[in-house]
Chains A and B, each alone.
Chain A
């Protein structure tokens, strides 16, 4: 049974999406339950995959699509491959998809009237695409899956208001350039190696000793540029802030944590599995130093741009740009600590971005204002929401025991180990800026005055002033928030064992 897990993770939401579209005509009210069940099953299977891979019986699961046997040592079909790293990311993706479905229950009907079935169908397809990206072992199949995720996310973003449609259009243009660059890179690799399987390409590159070949170097640069465009690595981030800030809230909440992180995973995979340690960190090319400086720039610019925003959602999107800088820098440090830190940050950043986006969406929904001064006195009006927000924010700043602290810790240790002090300084600087950003909000939320309320007066529904009628949102939105903030803490507490699993998996690729 275990050997079929990789394909089942993909198939359940795929058919779920089809069923939702078919159901949508007759029974639109059942779409939510259907997608909840399908994503629930999918995340359950991926949880068992994590356990299966960890239990030691199988180091990695390999699944040949269509059962094509290998021929003369080369894979001819498409292969799915799940090791511990892939299993963890797939579990994160499906779990966030599942939790976000709970969040969407009320929001989907409010924000995309008449298109609810299509929203759930696209959301499940996006989860399928993301899981496929993580699991596939075929370079061209990776391109197709990247495009599947991109197409669904363009459509999901465009479901919002007119600003969302415009930002989705810009995303289409940027995303197509990125994916096409990746495709060109794969084309060059195919010309040189004659295969598309990631492991086989790596093997042929070694056998034919193509490391210094011009086409391979060009292919590497094209693939990196493509992946960076997709992950919004500064200065290729132009599409991200508007797209995620104006998208319908339940779309932004799960796209912001997932899309960029999965592309970072793709980058690490391409660097270590496709091209290999020797090629990427050989010191033969200057790109290592250059990219660390670019990531320093991304961290500093992302943090400062976030500081300059008064709109809470825009601010969070620029923080994502800074976080992408963390991960790219960590992956390029050239030591296992940095790579494992970057990988651990994929998981922790997914959790904390998810937490913050849900909290911000709830606040914007209830207060009706997305500027920072909307937070005045919110701790008294919406204490539960603000607890969730605080956990996410503390993790973003990097305070223990949240996962943000540990990922930053590992990244900084990696930076010190590699002697890249500029990267270490950028991380600390970004932490400080995050502290300024979030304590500015905490101050307002704790001490800000609620207009028209006496100190001892607890706001009730009957109050005439609309400002003080703000109260907590329904359970369907609070439960996801608490699950997300719980995950932030859990990832922080489990950091040691997680980090060790990641490290052992990455060590094998660093020889």
Chain B
């Protein structure tokens, strides 16, 4: 492989691969939303577009060597399972000595729960609208719909 390409991959793509994936997915979605003729294909593009952003947020919360963000109050076993540092003793100390690096950041995940709900409802609403369009035009191809409208209106 060309050394320039190799260094580019090593320095830019590998450490930030989550961003690259999100950008590529987002571009696929955007491309489908803008260029596809079929309304359902546009909606598939929209779903990809929104999923890409969800992926971006979720990947932001990830840390190396981090566990699930649940702080257990009972028993030392659970502390170790949750990834707490072993020197932490009583429950009170645990609260003071929570090691941030041992827990994944839960906030982006929580935000994305809301964003998923929003995405699902947008998709559902858009599908309902396309159903209404299909019932009144008999087709879901954008050019056919527009050619049917052309003789009537002048816009």
User: Are B125 and A151 in contact, CB atoms less than 8 angstroms apart?
Assistant: yes
A140 at the interface (CB under 8 A from B): yes
B121 at the interface (CB under 8 A from A): yes
Do A158 and B60 form a contact, CB below 8 Å, given A172-B122, A187-B53? no
Q: Which residues of B contact A54 (CB under 8 A)?
A: none
- Least CB separation from B46: chain A residue: A176
Distance of A183 Cα from B122 Cα, bound (Å)? 15
Chain B interface extent, by class: 20 to 34
Do A187 and B56 form a contact, CB below 8 Å, given A151-B125, A168-B129, A173-B33? yes
User: Are A162 and B133 in contact, CB atoms less than 8 angstroms apart?
Assistant: yes
User: Are A147 and B33 in contact, CB atoms less than 8 angstroms apart?
Assistant: no
Q: Write the A151-183 contact mask toward B (1 if CB under 8 angstroms, else 0).
A: 100110010001101101100110011001001
Distance of A143 Cα from B53 Cα, bound (Å)? 13
B111 at the interface (CB under 8 A from A): yes
Q: Which residues of A contact B60 (CB under 8 A)?
A: 187, 190-191
A498 at the interface (CB under 8 A from B): no
B7 at the interface (CB under 8 A from A): no
Task: Looking at the assembled complex, report how far the CB atom of A64 sits from the nearest CB atom of chain B, in whole angstroms.
Answer: 17
Distance of A488 Cα from B132 Cα, bound (Å)? 38
Distance of A187 Cα from B57 Cα, bound (Å)? 7
**4 tightest A-B contacts by CB?**
A162-B136, A147-B118, A165-B132, A172-B126
A18 at the interface (CB under 8 A from B): no
Task: Looking at the assembled complex, report how far the CB atom of B136 sits from the nearest CB atom of chain A, in whole angstroms.
Answer: 4
User: Are A176 and B50 in contact, CB atoms less than 8 angstroms apart?
Assistant: yes
Tally inter-chain residue pairs, CB-CB below 8 A: 76
In the complex, 19 of the A-B residue pairs with CB atoms within 8 angstroms, ordered by the A residue number, are: A144-B114, A147-B118, A154-B126, A154-B129, A158-B132, A163-B153, A165-B133, A166-B133, A166-B137, A169-B39, A169-B129, A172-B46, A172-B122, A172-B125, A172-B129, A173-B33, A180-B50, A187-B53, A190-B107
B109 at the interface (CB under 8 A from A): no
Q: Which residues of B contact A184 (CB under 8 A)?
A: 53, 56
A314 at the interface (CB under 8 A from B): yes
Q: Which residues of B contact A150 (CB under 8 A)?
A: 122
Interface residues of B in 39-78 (CB under 8 A from A): 39, 42, 46, 49-50, 53, 56-57, 60
Q: Which residues of B contact A172 (CB under 8 A)?
A: 46, 122, 125-126, 129
